[in-house]
């Protein structure tokens, strides 16, 4: 992200040599931890709104999910590669779900197809309030699929693929 899209008041750097605690679910890959510190729907609503359910001290990403029969809020870990979630989590693996913003209730827009299944779609979550397509998180709409992407300045920053 460019300097203008970074909220420097919220920017925190770990202390030199600091590592996630032994009981943390955060993955460190090549000394890098990717944490989403702000994320927006296509209408500009910040989705880091639930401060009751924290992931290693950080707020998660709030979304509305539905399989057409039941629906509710799910809160995803803000750490890329951490599959923890709170809230509505009782869908069967492989279920196609609709994913919406909890504020405006609009379905998230499609980024691309997901390689998990024919019906899998990666949905757009914007990493800045300018809703710049060069800074995105791609999240799959198939329950239990952990394929995701973090794109920063139009370059793939990180991808999580689990076969």
Distance CA 61, CA 71 (A): 16
* Residues 136/123, Cβ–Cβ less than 8 Å: no
Task: Give tens-digit pLDDT for 45-56.
Answer: 999 998 888 888
Range of the domain at 107: 31-160
Distance CA 33, CA 81 (A): 9
Helices (runs of H) and strands (runs of E) counted in the chain: 0, 10
The pLDDT of residue 157: 54
Domain contains 141: yes
Report which DSSP code applies to 127.
S
The pLDDT of residue 61: 93
Domain contains 75: yes
The pLDDT of residue 66: 96
Domain contains 88: yes
Domain contains 115: yes
The pLDDT of residue 23: 43
The pLDDT of residue 55: 85
Token pair in block for residue 125: 């979550």
The pLDDT of residue 155: 58
Q: How far is CA 42 from CA 59, 70, 126, in A?
A: 20, 24, 7
Domain contains 25: no
Domain contains 36: yes
State the total domains in the chain. Answer: 1
The pLDDT of residue 10: 43
Q: How far is CA 4 from CA 1, 14, 76, 129, 134, in A?
A: 8, 22, 26, 11, 14
Domain contains 17: no
The pLDDT of residue 98: 96
Q: State the sign of the Cα–Cα–Cα–Cα dihedral 103, 117, 35, 1.
A: negative
The pLDDT of residue 159: 53
Sites in the chain below the pLDDT cut of 50? 1-29, 163
Domain contains 133: yes
């Amino acid at each position: 992200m460019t300097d203008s899209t970074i909220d420097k008041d919220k920017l925190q750097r770990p202390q030199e040599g600091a590592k996630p605690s032994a009981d943390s679910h955060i993955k460190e890959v090549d000394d890098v931890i990717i944490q989403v510190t702000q994320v927006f729907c296509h209408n500009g609503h910040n989705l880091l709104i639930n401060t009751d359910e924290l992931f290693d001290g950080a707020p998660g990403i709030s979304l509305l999910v539905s399989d057409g029969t039941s629906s509710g809020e799910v809160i995803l870990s803000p750490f890329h590669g951490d599959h923890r979630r709170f809230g509505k989590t009782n869908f069967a693996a492989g279920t196609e779900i609709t994913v919406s913003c909890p504020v405006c209730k609009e379905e998230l827009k499609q980024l691309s197809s997901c390689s998990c299944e024919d019906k899998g779609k990666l949905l757009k979550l914007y990493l800045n309030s300018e809703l710049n397509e060069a800074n995105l998180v791609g999240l799959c709409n198939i329950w239990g699929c952990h394929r995701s992407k973090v794109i920063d300045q139009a370059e793939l920053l990180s991808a999580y693929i689990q076969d």
